[in-house]
C-alpha cells in the first residue's frame, strides 16, 4: 500500500516523469499521474485526471469535508527536468537518511508528503474539503496548473516545493524579451553599403548592462533583494565576409512583487528609444513570456496556521523566507487563493546529484496534517 514516506517516494522516483517540453521524446506525466490516481483509489480517495493537453495529465483529488469548514489545496508538480550526467536517475538510493535520485527534492518529496497528508485528512473527518492538485508541466509552461485552476478553488493553498522546512511567502517572477537589431547586408569589403546589426546590438548590450546596475540601486524587497537582468542567448549574421543584416538577443528579467511586465517593457523601450537618436539604428522589441512574482502577507490565516503547526512539530518557529526561483504559487495567488510555500530539506534541484532528507519529508507530512486539522476543522 506504500504508506511510509520512503516507500512512496521511492516508487514515485522510479517513474520517469521528465518533461517532454524540456527533453524531446521524454515520457511526461502520464505514467506518474496514473500511479498517483491508483494509489489514491486504493485508499478510497476520490481522484480524477485533468488532461487539457494530450499526454500531459494532472491529478485532482478531494477529501470531502462534512460541511462548514474552510477548504485547502495541497499542490505539487509531477514533472521533473532532464537527467543528463546522472548515472542512475530513476534508481533511488538511501544513504545517511538521504534519498538520492531525480525528483527526490524537486519535488517528489513534497508530493509524497501531500499524498500522505491527504490520507491523514481522510481519517480526520474535517469539516472543510482538502484538495490535492498534482500538476503537469511546472518545469516549463505550467499547463497543468493553469488548467486545474479552471476547475478548482479553495480558501487557501500550500505548495510543497522544497523550502528546508521554512515558510516561503514570496518569490520572484520573470519576463522574457526578444530584441532584434537590423542592419544592411553587404560584402565585407563595402563598408559604404553595409550596416552591422551585431555592433548595433553591442550598444543594446551596453545599455542593458547599465540598466542591470540601476536595478541594484532601487529599493530591494525585504526577502528577495533586488530585481535582475541578464542576456541569455544571441544570434546574428549570415557568413564571415558579409555585413550582418540582423541580430537577435533573448533576455530574462527577474521581477519583484509589485513590478509588472509593463514596467519592465517600459524600461527596455526607453533604452532603445535613446539609441534611436542615431538614424542608422533600427531595433524591435517584444515581450515573449511573463510570469508574475508571488507574495502573501504574513498575517494571512494560512500563514499563521502553517507557522503554528511547524513550531509545534519542530519545537522551533520556522523562518519566513523568500525564494529567488519561480513557482506555481504565483498562479494560485493570481486566482485569488491565499497561498504559502512549504516543503522538505535537501539539495540538487536540476543538478546531477539530487537528494532529499527523508526525516524532513516525514516532518513535512506531519506539519501539513496539523495545518489542515486546524485550518479545515
pLDDT tens track for 1-19: 678 999 999 999 999 999 9
91-129, pLDDT tens digit by residue? 999 999 999 999 999 999 999 999 999 999 999 999 999
| Stretch 16-37: mean pLDDT | 98
Strand, coil or helix: 55: coil
Radius of gyration of the chain (CA): 24
Angle CA 271–277–280, to nearest 5 = 105
Averaged pLDDT, 78-98 = 98
**pTM attached to this predicted model:** 0.94
pLDDT at 2: 79
pLDDT averaged over the chain?
97
pLDDT tens for 240-265 read 999 999 999 999 999 999 999 999 99
Cα–Cα dist 126/373, whole Å:
7
Which among 58, 21, 61, 55 is positioned nearest to 39, based on CA atoms? 61
| Sheet (strand 98-100) strand order | 93-95, 98-100, 355-357, 346-347
Residue written as cell 536517475?
89
CA-to-CA dists, residue 323 to 82, 151, 163, 257, angstroms:
22, 28, 8, 12
- Angle of CA points 278, 284, 288, to nearest 5°: 150
- Reading the block at residue 284, the C-alpha cell is 524591435
CATH of domain 5-171+293-375: 3.40.630.10
Question: What is the model's pLDDT at position 1?
Answer: 67
Has residue 67 got a pLDDT over 80? yes
- Give 178-291's CATH code, choosing from 3.75.10.10, 3.10.310.30, 3.50.50.60, 3.30.70.360: 3.30.70.360
Three-class SS state of 250: strand
| pLDDT tens string 297-342 | 999 999 999 999 999 999 999 999 999 999 999 999 999 999 999 9
Tell me what the mean pLDDT of segment 258-279 comes to. 97
Residue 3: its pLDDT value, please?
A: 80
Task: Give the whole-number percent of the chain exceeding pLDDT 90.
Answer: 99
How much is the pLDDT for 303?
Answer: 98
Delimit the domains of the chain by residue range.
5-171+293-375, 178-291
**172 close to 223: Cβ distance less than 8 angstroms:** no
Q: Is 99:92 a contact under the CB 8 Å cutoff?
A: yes
Long-range contacts formed by 324-328: CB under 8 A, 24+ apart: 324/171, 324/172, 324/224, 324/254, 325/171, 325/172, 326/171, 326/172, 326/173, 326/174, 326/291, 327/138, 327/159, 327/161, 327/171, 327/294, 328/75, 328/77, 328/135, 328/138, 328/142, 328/145, 328/159
Amino acid at each position: 500500500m506504500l504508506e511510509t514516506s520512503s516507500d512512496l517516494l521511492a516508487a514515485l522516483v522510479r517513474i520517469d516523469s521528465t518533461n517532454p517540453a524540456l527533453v524531446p521524446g521524454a515520457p511526461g506525466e502520464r505514467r506518474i499521474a496514473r500511479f498517483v490516481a491508483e494509489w489514491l483509489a486504493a485508499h478510497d480517495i476520490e481522484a480524477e485526471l485533468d488532461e487539457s493537453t494530450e499526454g500531459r495529465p494532472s491529478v485532482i483529488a478531494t477529501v470531502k469535508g462534512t460541511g462548514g469548514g474552510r477548504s485547502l489545496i495541497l499542490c505539487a508538480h509531477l514533472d521533473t527536468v532532464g537527467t543528463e550526467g546522472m548515472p542512475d536517475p530513476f534508481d533511488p538510493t538511501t544513504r545517511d537518511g538521504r534519498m538520492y535520485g531525480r525528483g527526490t527534492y524537486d519535488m517528489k518529496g513534497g508530493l509524497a508528503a501531500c499524498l500522505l497528508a491527504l490520507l491523514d485528512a481522510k481519517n480526520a473527518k474535517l469539516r472543510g474539503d482538502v484538495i490535492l492538485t498534482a500538476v503537469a508541466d511546472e518545469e516549463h509552461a505550467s499547463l497543468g496548473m493553469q488548467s486545474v485552476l479552471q476547475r478548482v478553488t479553495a480558501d487557501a493553498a500550500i505548495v510543497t516545493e522544497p523550502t528546508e522546512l521554512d515558510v516561503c511567502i514570496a518569490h520572484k517572477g520573470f519576463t522574457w524579451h526578444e530584441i532584434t537589431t537590423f542592419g544592411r547586408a553587404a560584402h565585407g569589403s563595402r563598408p559604404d553599403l553595409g550596416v552591422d546589426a551585431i555592433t548595433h546590438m553591442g550598444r543594446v548590450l551596453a545599455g542593458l548592462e547599465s540598466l542591470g546596475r540601476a536595478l541594484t540601486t532601487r529599493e530591494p524587497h525585504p526577502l528577495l533583494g533586488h530585481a535582475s537582468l541578464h542576456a541569455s542567448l544571441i544570434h546574428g549574421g549570415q557568413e564571415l565576409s558579409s555585413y550582418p543584416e540582423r541580430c537577435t538577443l533573448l533576455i530574462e528579467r527577474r521581477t519583484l512583487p509589485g513590478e509588472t511586465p509593463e514596467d519592465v517593457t517600459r524600461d527596455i523601450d526607453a533604452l532603445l528609444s535613446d539609441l534611436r537618436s542615431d538614424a542608422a539604428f533600427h531595433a524591435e522589441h517584444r515581450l515573449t513570456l511573463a510570469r508574475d512574482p508571488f507574495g502573501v502577507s504574513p498575517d494571512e490565516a494560512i500563514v499563521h496556521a502553517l507557522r503554528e503547526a511547524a513550531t509545534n512539530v519542530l519545537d522551533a518557529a520556522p523562518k519566513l523566507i523568500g525564494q529567488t526561483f519561480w513557482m506555481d504559487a504565483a498562479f494560485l495567488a493570481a486566482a485569488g487563493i491565499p497561498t504559502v510555500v512549504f516543503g522538505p530539506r535537501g539539495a540538487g534541484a536540476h543538478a546531477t546529484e539530487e537528494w532529499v532528507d527523508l526525516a524532513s519529508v516525514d516532518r513535512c507530512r506531519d506539519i501539513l496534517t496539523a495545518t489542515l486539522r486546524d485550518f479545515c476543522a
